[in-house]
Structure 1
Amino acid sequence: MAHHLDPKIQVVRRLARKNGAHLLAADGMFAELAATAGPEYWAADGVLAAAWLRLLA
């Protein structure tokens, strides 16, 4: 993940905690997945949709 996004990611995480919002930490998830295949493979695979549904279940 690009380092310039780190401060923004941290703000979003703090806001989610503060407001009791569901947060799908896609940055970490995609960093792990991209290590096994390129991000273009995972982006079209429905990985985010599946992860979001698990989060809300």
Structure 2
Amino acid sequence: MRVATVKVTFDRETGEKLEEEVVDVSEVDEDEYYRPIAEFLYKKLKEAKVI
């Protein structure tokens, strides 16, 4: 899976997006990409005793 690292600059007072720049594009294994969110959600669901 191809992923991009994007750098975005916002105006702190208005919240307006000033600039957006693609810093890097790379190939990442899907398991590696989704693992952090899956582990986070699993922990939250386990704490809530949903699973």
Please indicate, yes or no, whether the TM-score normalized by the shorter chain is above 0.5: no
Structure with the greater alpha carbon radius of gyration: 2
What TM-score, normalized to structure 1? 0.28
Q: Which has the higher strand share?
A: 2
What TM-score, normalized to structure 2? 0.31
Q: Which has the higher helix share?
A: 1
